[in-house]
Amino acid sequence: MATVTFDKATRIYPGSTKPAVDALDIEIADGEFLVLVGPSGCGKSTSLRMLAGLEDVNGGAIRIGDRDVTHLPPKDRDIAMVFQNYALYPHMTVADNMGFALKIAGVNKAEIRQKVEEAAKILDLTQYLDRKPKALSGGQRQRVAMGRAIVREPQVFLMDEPLSNLDAKLRVSTRTQIASLQRRLGITTVYVTHDQVEALTMGDRVAVLKDGLLQQVDTPRNMYDKPANLFVAGFIGSPAMNLVEVPVTDGGVKFGNSVVPVEREALAATSDKTVTVGVRPEHFDVAGPDSDLGVEVTVNVVEELGSDAFVYGTAQVGGETKDLVVRVGGREVPEKGSTLHVVPRAGETHVFSTSTGARLSD
């Protein structure tokens, strides 16, 4: 087992002046499950490939444990990678696929068989060991790819969007299996995904990247409760946080017909006349039908989920028409075309600088 350190690691592709990964600084603890997440082109897969030795590092360093592996070839880094497309040999059986790296390394047949059988037992693949990959489902193939990584007993697992080829239901069950397997094996794991729900449910910590720059690295709970800036606030959470530019007023910010209290220190930290307030869909209170508090939301679409529902509507805030998402109870679902008055719940708002995007509130 080992720690992993990105020490201002930078990657600039030939012909480009803008780094694909710009001075990435992350320390990953021994046995930790870290998820790199962000939109397409943010540098998350490049970061993983730099750690794997598949991309050159143009600046900074990468360390696994105490070893500087910045310029070591992949085979000398003691890592195992699980790819999106499984990368199995079609002409080999499951057992041969799982044991292939050990065979190349000159391990004897009896030991290979023992390690393959142990991994197959963990992954519930024992009955498929003599089959070829084409006879397996996508989820089973992904487990074979995991098995191939496990038998090598590496210091670090690297996983590049391993679930993106699976259907939605299988993705949910497989992510649970991967997370519990990692806990049991205790192997340091760096996992790349563009799916922020996957990131929040699997990672001990989550690192959000945008345009090659690290935006925030934190536990899923802290990232949800205290996003560091407007980008993280809008990216983490499903449905996304409502972000509305509102004027600053005495004692808080003006949200429609209500003044939402905000800490004085947060407003003192900016000279902007307006700030951007973030409110999660579940942190709106619906006022009574005769109330004129908050803002009036016209209901456009309702997503009923059984236990609760999401109302997608429009409202006039600060002289502009804004789309808002509000979570309501499953028994209090409004009609399409009706109106609701909603007020942000005190103490559950997030305040950001409109000009810099940085978080102002505690």
In this structure, is the dihedral angle defined by the CA atoms of residues 43, 46, 51 and 57, taken in order, positive or negative? Answer: negative
The 10 Å CB-count burial string (b at 16+, else e) for 87-113 is: ebeeeebbbbbbbbbbeeeebeeeebe
Residue 249's pLDDT band (cuts 50, 70, 90): confident
Domain ranges (residues) in the chain: 4-227, 239-353
Distance (Å, rounded) from C-alpha 259 to C-alpha 344? 10
Burial of 23 (0-12, 13-18, 19+ CB in 10 A): middle
Residue 311 has φ and ψ, to the nearest 5°, of -100, 120
Q: Residue 149: which residues within 8 A CB-CB, separation 6 or more?
A: 80, 81, 82, 157
The 10 Å CB-count burial string (b at 16+, else e) for 170-196 is: bbeebbebbbebbeebebbbbbbbbbb
**Residue 97: CA count within 13 A, CB half-sphere:** 28
Mean pLDDT, the chain, whole residue set:
89
Q: Quick one: 4-227 is in which CATH superfamily?
A: P-loop containing nucleotide triphosphate hydrolases (3.40.50.300)
Give yes or no for residue 279 having a pLDDT over 90: yes
Residues 16-47: tens digit of each pLDDT:
999 999 999 999 999 999 999 999 999 999 99
Predicted structure pTM score = 0.89
Residues 307-353: tens digit of each pLDDT:
899 999 999 887 788 899 999 988 888 888 888 889 888 888 898 98
Distance (Å, rounded) from C-alpha 229 to C-alpha 202? 22
Give CATH for domain 239-353: 2.40.50.140
